[in-house]
Structure 1
Amino acid sequence: MNINEILTITIVLAAAFAYINHRFIKWPPTIGIMVLSLLSSIALAFLGSFHPILSKKAIQLASSIDFQDLLMNFMLSFLLFAGAIHIDAGQLKKERWPIIILSTVGILISTFLVGLLVYYLFQIFHHAVPFIYCLLFGSLISPTDPIAVLAILKEAKIPASLEIKISGESLFNDGVAVVIFITLMNAARAGGADVSMFSVSKLFAQEAFGGLIFGGLLGYVGYRTLRSIDDYKVEVMITLAVVIGGYYVASHLHISGPLAMVVAGITMGNKVRDGAVSDLSRDYLGKFWELIDEILNAVLFLLIGLEMLIIKINMTVFLIGGISIIIVLLSRWVSVFIPISLLRYNVKFERHAVTMLTWGGLRGGLSVALALSLSSAMHRDEFVFITYIIVVFSILVQGLTIGALAKQLQQSE
């Protein structure tokens, strides 16, 4: 398939599923679109025995799209910037310690715990997988993605402080998790040779701190540029240039592009709200990035559903994936409980913060993309299938019940 066919089919399907969901199902858009995409994939697989052309065309579409490259090298920069630009820096600053600790220490705890438990789980099923690859899986499945659940949380009227904790953590832990994943990937490729704590720490510091510093600089330059003119069309183009150009430069500097986009988005978004641009420009910028966010999320969750067509299914691995759901939830609980227990002496937390942060920690497209970047020697097929099972469960079950859980917990107080 050529790029024109891929774009046409993808956008038409995303629009059709978005309409059906909005008109009849009325679930959160990302969840509804993914469910319709999944059901369509299953139906096409079933109809393939009767009408092979339909199934063949659908598989050809799914195979033609490099999901990992599309998300990591294009969509992720826009999604993170679009999410960060609406974050209130003042509220973020008030909750900075929970967000910092959860998105760093929490991710490390989850990565190690998931890796360890999955390593022994594979052994129980007589499926030998080296520990370093299990750690890689732990790092790719640990970042949370609350995009599909934030609207539900707002409807449930949870405390604003808890909402900023969830959204702030997700923005930063995406970037941190990518850095941890890259660090472990390099260690795995080296096979342990010439890998020391110093080299690992150096790579982590370069990626993480480099991304944060570059993002701050990028956001400041972008803000100063916006401030010097008053033309919303040019200002929108400048924000696009910041995202596309900044992410490209970050990748060539070997620093974290995701973290750079988060910091740049927060910096520019808050400067815009503080009066750096006219009211007209602020309105256009806000609506433009909200629209970009909605469109890309619709396409992203459509593609997650279509991946069902090309994932290799193995019943033993399916069972391991089912058990891994429990492992990931348990690890998430531990990675939230320990930091909150240590911070409670100096930071005020909501009564049900641990429960909400655990169940509201959804996994999404980033985890699937990172799993797809594994090589076949790293047990790619097994980890892609397990990741897919966890992501689908997370979005469907957790995403559709988090609102009801929030209301129930509030009523029990």
Structure 2
Amino acid sequence: MGPFHLSAILLTLAATFGFINHKWLKLPSTIALFFEGLALALLVSGVDSVSATLGVGNWLRNLIQQISLPEILLDGILSLLLYAAAVNEDLCALLKRKWTVLALATLGVMLFTGLMGLGLSFIFRLAGIDVPLIWCMVLGAAIAPTDPVAVHAILGRLPVPETLRSVISGESLFNDGVGVVVFATLLHLATGSDQDLGAGEVALDFVKEAFGGAALGFVCGWIAFQAKRRIDESTVELTISLALVLGTYSLASWLGVSGPIAVVVAGLLIGYTTEKHVSSDESRRDLQVVWAMIDSVLNALLFLLVGLEATVVITWTGPALLAAALAVPLALVVRLLSLTPALLMHLGSSGKSSALVILTWAGLRGGIAVALVLSLPDSPYRDSILAVCYVVVAFTILVQGLTLEPIGRRLYSSNGRT
């Protein structure tokens, strides 16, 4: 099956599920697409177990196996999704909480990775699965960053103070780049390709990727801004935006710096300058509509794919399910502990307990975590790691994602939004 037919099938499924959600379910769109994709995968698996002669299970497996989620997401649509989120971000509000966001996106990710890895090592042993500590750390790094796609899908409906909203949004934008760097470093250690890598070299590589990505994003964003401010033609401005996203992400990969961080910085710069320097309201409106459509379609496809992965690429066993069930509360506790750096940077003198609850529950994971784990090489530990990762992601999307809004209303209904 060629790329055109694959795209046609996925878009048809996404459009159908989107209609069902809009008409009847009325859930946040990304959560609905994940739920419907998961339900379809389970339904097909059930039908296949009853009557394998129908071949629906093989059809779905062949469909998903032709689509490499790690390649599509990490080397493709992630750049567009991050830019679409960043370009609509309030940079001034974000800068007011820059130290809190920085602490969460760096120290918070590293703390989560270490604590989660240690906890997972104990859980795997308890479940009777032999997974070395370094591979537990790799899994911890994969699920450490909050997912910007999942977070931004519900952030607009979250009744919390604007300062807290900026922290949640900023963390989800920047910690993916940090998480991917930590994941790659630990994976090199786990596979033995960097056995002699010292702590100083690891720190230097981290600084190079993170700060190099930020510098590249600023330079590319500034060049695109200089081009956009000299024209008033929405189609040309859109072309410049697409070239900025894809070109920056590709160049970052070639230079060995963080593509996600580069795209986020470029998006923040363009978003900040658009209101002041786009020549006409018509051009600004056209750009917003097109990027909203790109964001919506790619979000739908991503969460549909993640939902469909459940019964296709994951091997479910009793010990793996036990480990996954224990990993869910562990992830919540570790998320709470990893927020310590942010609490030390003030989130405000009052309401810290409410902010802590929201920040903990807003730690949603999504397609990025699943894609990172799917990119792991074949090993005796891969299936168990993937099963645990998927259950943690599913819990955060379906349970935390659906209950975050009512929890926010309960905590802040009496205090008001400040």
Coarse TM-score class (shorter-chain normalised): over 0.9
Q: Verify: 1:316 aligned to 2:319, yes or no.
A: yes
Letter paired with 1:18: G
- Partner secondary structure for residue 78 of structure 1: helix
The 5 A counterparts of 1:13-412 are 13-48=13-48, 49-50=50-51, 51-150=53-152, 152-190=154-192, 193-310=195-312, 311-336=314-339, 338-344=340-346, 348=349, 350-351=351-352, 352-377=354-379, 379-411=381-413
Q: Is the 8 A contact 1:215 1:260 kept in 2?
A: yes
Do the aligned partners of 1:146 and 1:361 also contact (CA within 8 Å) in 2?
no
- Work out whether residues 247 and 260 of structure 1, in 8 Å CA contact, stay in contact via their aligned partners in 2: yes
- Do the aligned partners of residues 378 and 53 (structure 1) sit closer, same or farther apart at CA in structure 2, a change above 3 Å counting? closer
Measured in 1, the distance between the counterparts of 2:158 and 2:106 equals: 28
Q: In structure 2, do the counterparts of structure 1 residues 156 and 268 end up closer, same or farther at CA, with 3 Å as the change threshold?
A: closer
Tell me, in whole angstroms, the C-alpha distance in 2 between the residues paired with 1:222 and 1:150. 25
User: Within 2, Cα distance between the matches of 1:126 and 1:47?
Assistant: 31
- TM-score normalized with structure 1 length: 0.96
- State the 1:192 CA deviation: 5.7
Instruction: Quickly say closer, same or farther: Cα 1:283–1:204, change in 2 above 3 A.
Output: same
- Range with bigger deviation, 78-87 or 194-203: 194-203
Take 1:296 and 1:151, find their aligned partners in 2: how far apart are those partners? 12
Cα deviation digits, residues 261-306 of structure 1 (max 9, x gap): 1000000111111224322211111121111111100000100111
Instruction: Determine helix, strand or coil for the equivalent of 1:13.
Output: helix
Tell me how many residue pairs correspond in the alignment. Answer: 411
Unmatched 5+ stretches in structure 2: none
CA distance change for structure 1 residues 184 and 122 in 2, over 3 Å: closer, same or farther?
same
Report if the CA contact (8 A) 1:81-1:243 is conserved. yes
Instruction: Report how far residue 23 of structure 1 moved.
Output: 0.5
In the alignment, is the contact (CA less than 8 A) between 1:223 and 1:276 conserved in 2?
A: no
1:41 maps to amino acid: A
CA shift, 1:117, in A, is: 0.7
Deviation, structure 1 residue 124: 2.1
Shift of 1:57: 1.1
User: TM-score by structure 2 length?
Assistant: 0.95
Listed as ranges, the gaps of 5+ residues in structure 1 are none
Q: Give the aligned residue type for 1:79.
A: L
Superposed displacement of residue 127, structure 1: 2.1
Tell me which amino acid in the other structure corresponds to 2:143.
I
Question: Per-residue CA shift, 1:216-235, capped at 9, x if unaligned?
Answer: 11111110111121111010
- Asked if structure 1 preserves the Cα contact closer than 8 Å seen for 2:106 and 2:178, the reply is yes
The letter of the residue matching 2:319 is: T
* Distance in 1 of aligned mates of 2:303 and 2:277: 35
Contact 1:87 1:269 in 2 (8 A): yes
Summarize the Cα distance change of 1:349–1:381 in structure 2 as closer, same or farther, 3 Å threshold: farther
Contact 1:146–1:360 under 8 Å retained in 2: no
CA deviation profile, 1:44-68 (whole Å, cap 9, x unmatched):
1111132532222111111111011
- Find the aligned partners of 1:322 and 1:154 in 2 and give their Cα distance: 30
User: Once the 2 structures are TM-superposed, how far is the Cα of residue 152 of structure 1 from its aligned partner?
Assistant: 4.0
TM-aligned CA deviation for residue 33 of structure 1: 1.2
Deviation at 1:194, TM superposition (A): 1.4
Write the distance in 2 (CA, Å) between the matches of 1:106 and 1:147. Answer: 19
Give the Cα–Cα distance (whole angstroms) in 2 for the partners of residues 347 and 355 of structure 1.
Answer: 14
In 2: Cα distance, 1:243 partner to 1:148 partner: 20
- Flag the 1:65–1:354 CA change in 2: closer, same or farther, 3 A: same
For residue 367 of structure 1, give the secondary structure of its aligned residue in structure 2: helix
Cα distance, 1:150 vs. partner?
4.0
Q: Is contact 2:232-2:278 (8 Å) kept?
A: no
What amino acid is aligned across from residue 373 of structure 1 in structure 2? S
* Helix, strand or coil at the partner of 1:313: coil
Which stretch of the first structure deviates more once superposed, 41-50 or 190-199? 190-199
Aligned-residue offset at 1:156: 4.1
Per the alignment, do residues 239 and 349 of structure 1 end up closer, same or farther by CA in structure 2, a change over 3 Å counting? farther
Tell me the percent identity: 38
SS in 2 for 1:126: coil
Tell me the CA shift for residue 148 of structure 1: 3.5
Amino acid across the alignment from 2:201? S
Shift of 1:258: 0.4
Q: For residue 384 of structure 2, what is the amino acid of its counterpart?
A: E
Q: CA RMSD in A?
A: 1.6
Deviation readout 1:352-371 (Å, 9 max, x if unpaired) = 11100000110000000000
**Distance of 2:325 and 2:145 partners within structure 1:** 19
Contact 2:188/2:194 (<8 A) preserved = no
Opposite residue 218 of structure 1, the aligned amino acid is C
Shift, 1:175, TM fit: 1.0
CA contact (8 A) 2:41 2:311 kept: yes
Change (3 A) 1:179 1:355: same
CA separation of 1:91/1:107 partners in 2, compared to 1, >3 Å: closer, same or farther? same
Following the alignment from structure 1 to structure 2, what is the Cα–Cα distance between the partners of residues 156 and 3?
37
Deviation at residue 70 of structure 1 after TM alignment: 0.5
